[in-house]
Structures are given as structure tokens and as C-alpha cells.
Structure 1
């Protein structure tokens, strides 16, 4: 088989004539590509001119100097960002999936009573000052991560393992949020902490069964204590009320007897004084007053003689009016 050879001949005059146009076109395209910038609605643009801060651009279509004279950094100032510690979210679809196998160094920390706890948490934050975020701290997001881990270890290290794992979780999250915000203000990194959420707090895997058994025993103890306190609150106030009622009745009875005895003694003294002045008249008066009180309480009245041979009805004393003194 014969091989055919083709030769391409380029006119040198044509290259000289159109080369500058090609170069100019490429330069214009490159200039347009490097100077026209679009900033999203949740962002603002920070422009550096020859490495020095120049201005801040608002969302929309903007222009900067081309060919690397000015550089644009887009900062998501209207978006809530987050950092995860002790785990990572692999997918956040309808059902989120998490991975924590390679992040034990972040979550494993020592409590105040020298126990280990596995703490997973999330820091939600916003960038409120793009200039400070870019220029006050080198690699602000990495610095924030280190600050968050340091703050969590400090707060957890001041509490016992029971507080961290059970009743003190919300207090730990609030304390970390306050401390982390103070550190951000001190470093002037342009970040505002929205929330610190404890995702999960567990004892280390080797001791988890023992801890669960202790935790269950403590819950049962609390249940028994609450039940005993409820029974105490039900029985003791009633017993105190009954005791108080008995005391008041006894005091009232004693007061009544004392007043009554005092009145009878005064009455006896008055009778005695009257008796001393007129013995016969006083005896007769006492007799008549006594009969006046006693006779109406009797039934039919019959008076008989000593031998009982004659029955003589007296008067119908049931209808008789009492004598007036």
C-alpha cells in the first residue's frame, strides 16, 4: 500500500495580519471573565487590590479590575453556618446519615471527677463582619473550631460525669455558648454564635453497660424518694391538722371548765354573803328556786302521807306557771 503525504502550508503574511486580533480577542475574553463577578443574595464581596483591602460589594452584578489586579472573596454573611464535633453528616436528605468512627479524638474528654465522656456537639454561627472574618484572624473557621473544642473541654472539665450525661446538659451547652462568644469578641473574628447544641453525650463504649446500670439504679432511687415524699406530704399535714384540732379542742374545753368553775365560785360567794346577812330567807329562796327548776321536769306528781294509806292528788303542777321571785 502506498502512503500519501499531505502538507499544510501556512502563509506567514496571514499569521502576521491576524495574530494581533487573536491575541486581543483572548485578552478581552480573559479580562471580561476576571472582571465581571456575581454576588449571591446571602453574600457580600470583599475586594482586595494588590493584596490590600479596598472595598466591600453588595449582592448583585459587580465589576472589579481584571487580570488579578483585584481579587474578590465572597462571604456568606446572611447564612447560618455550623461546625460538627465528634461526628460528620454524610447526607442530610429525608433521613440524615452520620459518621463518627474517625472523630473520637474530638469528642472524648475528661470530666471534673476524672471520668471520660463522649460528647458530640454542634456550633451554629453567622459571619457578621466580613472584614474582621478575613483579616483579624488567620483561617477564622479553623480558629473557631479550636476555640469551640477548648471551650467545651473547659466547661465539661468543671462538672461531674453525672451532670454532663444527665441533668446538666443544657447548662453545659449554655455555658459553652457564652464562653465561645466571649472568645470571638476578644479575638475580633467577626463571628456571632447563634447556638451550641449537645448532639449526644455518652460514656465510653467499654463502660456503657455499667454506666447504664448505675443510671437505672439512680432513677429507681429518685422514684422511691419522690414516692416517699409524696406519702410524707399526704400523711404528715393531715396528722398535724388533727393534732392541732385536738389541742384546740382541749384548750377550749379547759377554758370552758375554768370559766365555769370561776363563775360557780363567784356565785357561791354571792350566796354565802347573802346567807350571812339573812340565813333563813336565803335558805327559803334557794329551796324555792331549786323546786322551780326541778318540778317542771317531772311527770305526774302525787303526794302521799307517811303511811301511804291515802292517795291525795296535789295540784296539776304540769300546767302550773313558775312562781315569780
Structure 2
């Protein structure tokens, strides 16, 4: 049933109980009626009176003052010691503030962005580390690189860096962190491409890291990235997984070669000095023997010349002297002597070995019974006097025999 059914007044949904011009059509609502009610309530709150539907001057001023104060207070901000505040005015850089409370003109005139400049940031090249699961994921598109000798190596590095200039970090590049990753990867590929595989895998690791850090930092500075690289750490460098077993065999063979070379060098270092010393000693001994033989020959020659000269002066005496010296030399080195008579019957054993040990004197018995009465005495002593004593006794014996 309709709201304005004929014969039932007061059913108009717009609140019009009467007819307009004798008809049953409803009266259209006036939207200003609700707005006037709201304005009146606001005026009542601030103590104002309705004046054509507007605010009183006092209430409007208070509202405006409060709004201005809140707007101005919204420009206060605090910067921590590890941070820097970058203030922009309509999007353009104005100032960079340090630690402490600061104020800037509120939005939309000025705004501030806080950047942590002491935070150590990390960029991983060739892998991604999951700190929650302690696992590392390999990224072959970043880690596989070609060396100068046309070999492929799998290199993973971690780069740690900080923000040097907050202004440059925010405005010079659209995404400085992504730019740093690209720059470091490019520098790493350049360094590896200029090096051989053995150099990268063995002794050249520290040099590769140093060159990558220097080259990447120079490029970041040329871009004005506002970043500084604090360290570059080589996480791992290996040949590709498909050839690691063959490469392990090559490395083992190289290590065996180095070990054998080192052992050979150690053996040579041990043998060569000994051989040189032995050769030098033999040369010295030969030289000494050479000098000794020459000196001895020279002495013998001079002695022979002197003996010849004396023999020419007194042949008999010289001959007897030579005979006595020869006998003295022979008997001085003999421990057992048998002496026989001219007839060949009587033999006398002289225990010279006991005479040498005891230092005693044993007289000779008569050597013959032909009435000549020859007698000799031999003395053998120790402590270096045996030879001289024997010589003197033999000389005395021969002298007495000649005189008789």
C-alpha cells in the first residue's frame, strides 16, 4: 500500500501532512534544514548565537588558533645519534641535520626523512643466506664467472657497507642498494676475468678481494651513491660442481708435486753442504800432503847432499855412522832379537819387549870363545829414551870392537 494513499492523510514519508495546491504529491525536502541544525549545535557549544547560519568570530578564532598550533607542532622531530635527518622543501633538498631535536616547516611545505648512517648493511653476491633456517642458497647467475684462461669458477662474496652521505643516498640514485650489488658484481667479474683459474683458487684470493673493493668503491664514488664499502669477504671459490672431482685430482697431483720438490730440495740442502765440506777437506789434505812430500823430499835431498859432503871428507867414519843409525832404527822398532856367535852355536835371546815395559838394563854375554873377550851391553828404556840409549850402547860396543 502506498504512503500517500487517498483518504489517509499524514502518511507522507517526507513529513508533509497537508496537500500542495489541493493535490496529494509530497513536498520535496530542504537539505539546508539539517545543515542549519548542525551549525546551531556548534554555536551552542562555543557559546555563540545563530546569525544567518555562520560561526561567531570568537569561536572561529579559537578553532583556527588550535589548528595552527597543532600544525606547527607537527614539524618537531628527533634524530638519534646513529641517524641523519634530510629535510626537503616541496621535494627539494634543504638541509641535513644531526642528532638531537629539530623543527621543520610542517607538511605540505617541508618534510624530513631519517636515514641510519651507522648501520652495517650487507650485500650477498652469488648466494643468499637465510638467517632463520641457517641455510645458504646458491645463485648461479651471479656466482659463475669466466677466467682469463677460459675456465669457469663459482665465486661467492659478501659486501658490508654504510651510508656515507644521507643526501646522496636518497636523491642521487633511485635505488642505491641495488646499484651497489650491480657495481660489486661487475667489479668481481672484471677482476676474475683478468686472472687465471689457479690464481683465483689458490694464492690470489686476498688480491682479488682487495681489487674488487677498490674498483667498486671508485665506481660508487663516480655515481655519487653516498655509500662506503667497509669490507669485502670471499665466502667461497670453487670450480663448477660438475668438474669438482676432476679438479680435486688435479689439486692433489699438484700438492704431491710440490711435496716431492720440497723433499728433493731438503735432501739437496742436506747433501750438498756435506759434499762441499768433504771436497774442501780432501783438497786441504791433498795440499797438506803435497807440501809435506815436497818438504820431506827437499829435506832428504839436503841431508843426502850433506852426507855426501861428509862422506867425501871421512868415508870410514861416515859409513860407520850410517850403519849405526840404520841398526838403531831397526832395533828401536823390534821387540825380539836373537844374537848368535861367529861359530853359530851360541844364541842369546834378548827380551826387548820386557825391557821396554820394565825399563831395565841387561848386559850382553860374551859372543865368542876365541879369546877376543868381546862384550856388549844394550839398554832399552821407556818414556822416549829407548832409542837413544840403544844407539849409544851400540856405538860404544862397535868402538870398543874397533879399538881391540
Q: TM-score, normalised by structure 1?
A: 0.80
1:247 matched to 2:279:
yes
TM-fit CA distance, 1:300: 5.0
Q: Please give the residue correspondences for 1:1-325 in structure 2 after superposition, counting only pairs within 5 Å.
A: 10-15=37-42, 16-17=54-55, 28-29=69-70, 31-33=72-74, 35-90=75-130, 92-93=131-132, 96-100=134-138, 103-204=139-240, 208-209=241-242, 211-279=243-311, 280=315, 281-311=317-347, 313=364, 314-319=376-381, 321=389
**Whose radius of gyration is greater, 1 or 2?**
2
CA–CA distance in structure 1, aligned partners of residues 77 and 87 of structure 2: 11
Gap regions ≥5 residues in structure 1: none
Do the aligned residues in 2 keep the contact of 1:274 with 1:282 (CA within 8 Å)? no
Do the aligned residues in 1 keep the contact of 2:81 with 2:99 (CA within 8 Å)? yes
CA–CA distance in structure 2, aligned partners of residues 83 and 112 of structure 1: 26
Change in Cα spacing, 1:31 to 1:119, as seen in structure 2 (3 Å) is farther
Stretch of structure 1 that moved more, 262-271 or 243-252 = 243-252
Do the aligned residues in 1 keep the contact of 2:378 with 2:390 (CA within 8 Å)? no
**How much is the aligned-residue C-alpha RMSD, in angstroms?**
3.2
Name which structure has the greater RCO, CA cutoff 8 Å, separation 6+: 1
Q: Cα deviations across residues 107-136 of structure 1 (Å, max 9, x unaligned)?
A: 333222233333332221112222333445
SS in 1 for 2:107: coil
SS in 2 for 1:316: strand
SS in 1 for 2:377: coil
Q: How many residues align?
A: 311
SS in 1 for 2:378: coil
Do the aligned residues in 1 keep the contact of 2:85 with 2:114 (CA within 8 Å)? yes
Change in Cα spacing, 1:264 to 1:65, as seen in structure 2 (3 Å) is same
Stretch of structure 1 that moved more, 38-47 or 105-114 = 105-114
CA–CA distance in structure 2, aligned partners of residues 135 and 276 of structure 1: 120
Change in Cα spacing, 1:64 to 1:195, as seen in structure 2 (3 Å) is same
Q: Cα deviations across residues 28-50 of structure 1 (Å, max 9, x unaligned)?
A: 545534x1223233111121223
SS in 2 for 1:41: coil
Do the aligned residues in 2 keep the contact of 1:301 with 1:317 (CA within 8 Å)? no
Gap regions ≥5 residues in structure 2: 1-12, 16-32, 43-53, 349-363, 365-375, 396-404
SS in 2 for 1:244: helix
Q: TM-score, normalised by structure 2?
A: 0.66
TM-fit CA distance, 1:308: 1.4
Do the aligned residues in 1 keep the contact of 2:379 with 2:390 (CA within 8 Å)? no
TM-fit CA distance, 1:169: 3.0
Q: Cα deviations across residues 222-269 of structure 1 (Å, max 9, x unaligned)?
A: 332233224313433343244334423432442243223212321222
Q: Cα deviations across residues 151-174 of structure 1 (Å, max 9, x unaligned)?
A: 111111112334334443332222
SS in 2 for 1:189: coil
Change in Cα spacing, 1:111 to 1:250, as seen in structure 2 (3 Å) is closer
Stretch of structure 1 that moved more, 175-184 or 279-288 = 279-288
